[in-house]
Structure 1
Amino acid sequence: MIKKLKIISLVPSLTELLVALGLEENIVGITKFCIHPKNLIKDKVVVGGTKTIHLEKVKALEPDFILCNKEENTKEIVENCRKIATTHVSDLFTIEDVIALIQYYGRIFSCEKKAILIIDELNMKLKDFKLFIKDKPTLKVVYFIWKNPWMIAANNTFINHLLTLNKFENCYENLNRYPEITLEDLKTKEVDAVFLSSEPFPFKEKNSLDFNNYTENTNIVLVDGEYFSWYGSRLLKAFDYFKELRNRM
C-alpha cells in the first residue's frame, strides 16, 4: 500500500493552492490564518500562526513536507521545520514566480494535470486583463498595510507587482519592501488614491478620516488585501476584482 503524502502548510495562500491542486486530503496541518476554504479550520490541525507555531503539534503530525514562505514565516520557524521534515520555502515577487511554483508543486506532489489546468486558466485571465487595462490611465497610489506605525507596500513586493500590472503607479516605489512613513509625508506626493488594505491590518471605512488633514482631492479606497497579496489560485479570482476596482475608480 502506497503511503499518502502528509503536508503541513504555514502559508494561507499556499494552503488554498493545495486544495485547488486536489491535495486537500494530504493537508494535515495549517495555520489559524488559513481561512480558504472555510472548512479547513475545523477539519485540519491548527499548528499556530504564521509567525509562531507549536513545534510539538508539527512533530506529532509526522509530515512529509512543510511549506513555508520567506516573507510570511520567520527564519527560526523555517530552521525548526527543517529538523522535522522536508521544508520548502517559497519567495515570490511576480506572477511568473507563482506559475513556476505551481509547476513545482505539480511535479513534487504528482498533480501535474491539475497544475497545468490552473496555469492555463491563469494565463488566459492575465491575457484578458492586460487587454482590459491597456488603455486605462495610470493612477498614482499609496498602498497602506498597517497603522501605528503607518506602513506601506513599496518595491520588491508581490503587492507592488500587482499594482504595476493594474497601472497603479506606486508613489513609494523608490523605497524597499514595507517601510514606515508618516502621514505628513503624503503632503509631498501627488497621490490620486490611497489604498487601505483589509489585511494584515483590518482597515475600515472609519480609517478614511485619518487622512483628512494630509490628502486633498485624493480618493481613499478600501481594497481587498487577499487579491493584492495572496499568490496561487487566489489569482484566478483577482482579475475580476481588479476590473471592478478600476471601474469603481
Structure 2
Amino acid sequence: MEAKNHRSVTDQMGREIRLPWPPRRIISLVPSQTELLYHLGLEEQVVGITKFCVHPPHWRKQKTLVGGTKTLHPELIRQLQPDLIIGNKEENEQQAIESLATEFPVWMSDIACLEDALEMMRRVGEITGRAEASEKLVSEVIRAFAALPAMESRSALYLIWRKPWMGVGHSTFIHQMLTLIGLRNVLEDQARYPELSEAELQRLNPEVVLLSSEPYPFQEKHLAELQALLPQSRLLLVDGELFSWYGSRLLQAPAYFKELQQELLGK
C-alpha cells in the first residue's frame, strides 16, 4: 500500500525535505546510519545500502548495493524508487547528493560531536516512524557515556591512513571521542584529516598513537615501521568503527573505551 500522507522535515544541514509518510522504501548511503535503521526495526523498509554497509551482515545479501559512499550508482537508485534517501555531509559527495535530491527526498546528517549524533538518531527515528525506539536508544547511549570514568590526560595521535600518514584533527567526531576518553589530540589545532610527514610525526611526539582499523586497515605488521619513527610513543591498534560510527554502534563504544583506558593505565 502506498503512503498517502506527506510531511515536511528539516535535515541537519538545514534543508527542508518533503517525503511520503511513513516512508516505505528507504536507501541508506552511510554504514553507521544503515546499522541505526536496522536497530530501529526497519528491516522491511530499507531497500538499498552501500557496499560499505557491513552491519548487519545479512543485509548485504538481502538489499540492493547502490555503490560506495562516494561512488553511487544513480541508475540502481532510480530502479529502487526510494521515497527516502538518508546520507551524510562528510561521507557522501555533494554533487551526487544534489543530483539525487532533484528526483527523491534526501535527508542529510551533519555530525561533528556526540550531541550531533544523538540529534541525528532522534530525527531519523522521527522521519521513519520510529520515534519511540530512537528516544530509547538515545537514552541508553547517554547513560553509557555518562558512566565512562575520567582519566588523566595523555597526548594522543589518531591515524587513519598510511602512505601518506593521515591523522584526525578538530571538528571531527573522532576528535570528540578522544576527548571523552581523556586523550589530548596532538592535532587539535589542525582541521579535519591532515597529511603528516615523518618529520611532523616526530615533532608531535605523542605519548599514545592509536592506529585505526578503518579506513586504512592498520595491523600488527605496521607497528614496527611506526615505532621506529616514534620510539617513545605507545602504539595501539583500535577499532575504528567504535571511534567513528555515530549510529547505534555508540551503544558499544563506552565499554570499549573503558577497556582502552584500563590498557593505557596498565591495569
**TM-score normalised per structure 1:** 0.95
Q: C-alpha distance in 1, partners of 2:227/2:258?
A: 27
Give the letter aligned to residue 33 of structure 1.
Answer: F
Give the letter for the 2:38 counterpart. V
2:176 is matched with which residue: 141, 154, 161? 161
Instruction: State how far apart, in whole Å, the 1-side matches of 2:248 and 2:63 are.
Output: 20
Distance 1:222 1:139 in 2: 17
> What residue number does 2:187 align with?
172
Match of 1:18 in 2: 37
Q: Cα distance, 1:123 vs. partner?
A: 1.2
8 Å Cα contact 1:142-1:191 kept in structure 2: yes
Selected match of 2:135 from 116, 125, 138: 116
Point out the structure with the larger strand share: 2
CA offset at residue 213 of structure 1? Answer: 3.1
Indicate the residue corresponding to 2:162 in structure 1: 147
Deviation by residue 1:41-66 (Cα, 9 ceiling, x = unmatched): 00100010011011110000000011
Q: Is the 8 A contact 1:154 1:178 kept in 2?
A: yes
- What amino acid sits opposite 2:257 in the alignment? F
Aligned residue number for residue 182 of structure 1? 197
**Structure 2, unpaired ranges of 5+:** 4-22
Q: How many residues align?
A: 245
Residues 38-117 of structure 1: pairs in structure 2 closer than 5 A = 38-117=57-136
2:156 and 2:206 in contact (8 A); partners too = yes
Answer yes or no: is the 8 Å Cα contact 2:205–2:233 preserved in 1.
Answer: no
Shift in Å at residue 165 of structure 1? 0.6
Deviations 1:199-232 (A, max 9, x none): 0000111111122332122111101000000001
Q: 2: distance between equivalents of 1:77 and 1:248?
A: 42
Q: Does 1:248 align with 2:263?
A: yes
Is the deviation greater in 205-214 or in 25-34? 205-214
Deviation readout 1:164-205 (Å, 9 max, x if unpaired)? 111110001100000101122122224111111000000111
CA RMSD in angstroms, aligned pairs only? 1.1
2:226 to 211, 214, 222: 211
Q: Distance in 2 between matches of 1:236 and 1:73?
A: 24
Q: C-alpha displacement at 1:139, in angstroms?
A: 1.1
Percent same amino acid at aligned positions? 42
SS at structure 2 position matched to 1:24? coil
8 Å CA contact retained: 1:183, 1:211? no
In the alignment, residue 194 of structure 1 is paired with which amino acid?
V
Matched, 1:137 2:152: yes
SS in 2 for 1:188: helix
Aligned to 1:230: 245
Q: Which runs of 4 or more aligned residues in structure 1 lie more than 6 Å from their structure 2 counterparts after TM superposition?
A: none
- Partner SS for 1:228: helix
TM-superposed CA distance for 1:124, in Å, is 0.9
- Normalized per residue, the structure richer in helix is 1
Deviates more, 1:138-147 or 1:2-11: 2-11
